[in-house]
A and B are shown apart, each in its own frame.
Chain A
Amino acid sequence: MWAHLKIELYKIFRRPRTYLAFAAITALIGVIQLGLLVDGKEYTSFVMADFTSSFAVDGKILNGYFICYVILQLLLVHVPLLIALIAADMISGEANMGTLRLLLTKPQSRTAIVTAKFLASVIYTLLLLIWIAVMGLFVSMLIFGTDDLFLMKSSYVVIVKESDVFWRYAGAFCFAALAMLTVTSLAFFLSFFAENSIGPIVATMSIIIVFTILSTMNIPIFNIIKPYLFTSHMITWKEFFDFKVNDANEAIVGSIQYPEKIIRSASILLIHIIGFAGTAILLFRKKDILS
């Protein structure tokens, strides 16, 4: 398996397309950081206009932690496309190139080949997220410094102590990884059915867009299916930034307000990952290669 995985990773990282995603992430984050560096104060005063009229805010709101939160909110909507570019190409791209038939005439088990392909796209996804973490969190911390994390929620404000933030980001990125791996496994699953990568890429994005719309629309008929849509659970990483308070309404350091929400969402995403990837692997074992 390790030998197969090395071959698949070698193929992924020999293709220029792979680096496009990393370049796109770098450019997107760079643009956000530059914008906030130049005009960040105006942005924060606009966002907090209602709040600052009643309260005096001390400290550096526009810090690295805050920038990373903004970046995560913006990027996790677009990263699925970059993931689909590679994951949706894993089987269909080889079918299109004609290399799939050559690959499967070699004395290797189909299960090992397809599992290695899936694991390679998992590694690619994780590397992309690590790159987002490096650029979005560490570079932002370097440029903007650190302080307490000040977040405006819909009906309340959250201030996370500087010393209590970093582990929350670690948890948020781990959860985001699970959310993005759901996209990876969906794209990989769809890749099984096509002989060029455009179809599965478009199909993956279409499913995510439709499910996201269904997840956000507050219509009773859709509310029934919402809990089962993986897109409803992809944004649960934000739960890491809500904490419990004590009787004096003070934040309990190291706590999460609704940990059960995170566990439930993570479980549903995990079921989707296993379902999509497992089905693709099972189907691939009996697939007739006609390309």
Chain B
Amino acid sequence: MMMQDIVKVDNLSKQFGHLTAVDDLSFSVKSGDVYGFLGQNGAGKSTSIRMLLTLITPTSGHIELFGYDLNTHRKEILQQIGAVIEKPDVYKYLSAYQNLKLFAKLSGVKPTHTLLMDQLEMVGLANRANDTVKTFSQGMKQRLGIAIALVHNPQLIILDEPTNGLDPQGIADIRNLILILSKEQKKTVIVSSHLLNEIEQIASRILIFDKGKKLVEGTAQELFNTAQTILQLDTTNNTQALEFLLQSKWANNLQPMRDGQLIIQLDKSDIPLLNKDLVANNIEVLLLQPRHSLEDYFLQITAGKQHVGTFKN
């Protein structure tokens, strides 16, 4: 069955003076996807999301949501979107209940007491419904932000850096919520993050940004499926091993070091040869292990080679 495109973006660009924040971006999100925007801070994720939500006017390009042009059907489209943009800022002098009621009205929903309490119950804030938000922790504000985003039962949920400032439990809660929304409630979710493992665990499709441009798009599986393997190398003397590798034919295969570990990328068939070379040069290999992480892939395509051969202190 053909899945319907919920979001279709063509050649989207945004310039702020001389700065190009988003450069010729095109992508589409299908119904039911958990679509991950991945990129370092300043890569253009938030600007792209803000353009999807009409907070920022694109310099050029075209955005279509639910089959409608965003320019001409803004109101109808926003009725079907719930969003949390960066920090979940709400009115601090109002209670959780009052905030939710106010935004429910603005979302076009009749805010019955049952609806509001059900939403607060869902995000675990029912017992704090009448407390002013200024007494809330960051995690509680984030949960209230999500309740506000979901109160009108939108089809598309956009979460921009939803785990910023959260503790590990809060991050896990958000991750579980996204999976519930996607799998149980069949919602389409766009989630952005600079945290790779977060996106890796939840996204069905991933778009990697760098300097405002789309670098690559695909499923996590597709992104891993590269011709070459990324290996982590550990020896009895890593300094000696690095010196040897830099002067050997393997120098071009060296990757930026991660967590003080030597990383090398090569064809699977070359692994025994590398091992043989190291042993022949009196370097005892303790570990030569393939890494299958999006982090490796992400760093491979976004980072320069400037870190190659330098140890972290």
Contact = CB atoms under 8 A, between A and B. Distances in A.
Q: Are chains A and B native binding partners rather than an unrelated pairing?
A: yes
A11 B106 CA distance: 13
A26 B92 CA distance: 27
Interface in A95-118: 97-99, 101-109
Interface stretch (B62-70, B72-80, B236-244, B256-264): B72-80
Contact of B105 (A3, A104, A288, A289): A3
Interface in B140-195: 145, 148
Contacts, number: 72
B106 A103 contact: yes
A3 to B, nearest CB: 7
A10 B102 contact: yes
Contact of A107 (B93, B102, B108): B108
A153 interface: no
B94 A102 contact: no
Interface in B72-127: 74-79, 81, 83, 85-87, 89-94, 98, 102-103, 105-108
Residue of A14, A101, A105, A290 ringed by the most chain B CB atoms within 10 A: A105
A86 to B, nearest CB: 14
Nearest to B85: A101
Contact of B76 (A10, A107, A290): A107
Interface residues of A, number: 23
Given A7-B102, A290-B56, A99 B91 contact: yes
Nearest to B84: A102
B106 A106 contact: yes
Contact of A102 (B50, B79, B89, B105): B89
B294 interface: no
Interface residues of B, number: 32
B282 interface: no
Interface string A1-33: 001000100110011100000000000000000
A150 to B, nearest CB: 47
Contacts of B55: 101, 104-105, 288-289
Contact of A98 (B50, B57, B87): B87
A102 B102 contact: no
Given A15-B93, A97-B89, A99-B90, A106 B107 contact: yes
B54 interface: yes
Nearest to B50: A289
Interface in A205-238: none
Contact of B83 (A98, A105, A108, A286): A105
Contacts of B92: 97
A108 B78 CA distance: 8
30 contacts: A3-B105, A7-B102, A7-B106, A11-B102, A14-B91, A14-B93, A15-B93, A16-B93, A97-B91, A98-B87, A101-B53, A102-B83, A102-B85, A102-B89, A102-B148, A105-B53, A105-B54, A105-B55, A105-B85, A106-B103, A107-B74, A107-B75, A107-B76, A107-B79, A108-B106, A109-B75, A289-B50, A289-B56, A290-B50, A290-B56
Interface of A: 3, 7, 10-11, 14-16, 97-99, 101-109, 286, 288-290
Given A97-B91, A289-B50, 15 more contacts: A7-B102, A10-B102, A11-B94, A16-B93, A102-B90, A104-B53, A105-B54, A105-B81, A107-B76, A107-B78, A108-B106, A288-B55, A288-B57, A289-B55, A290-B50
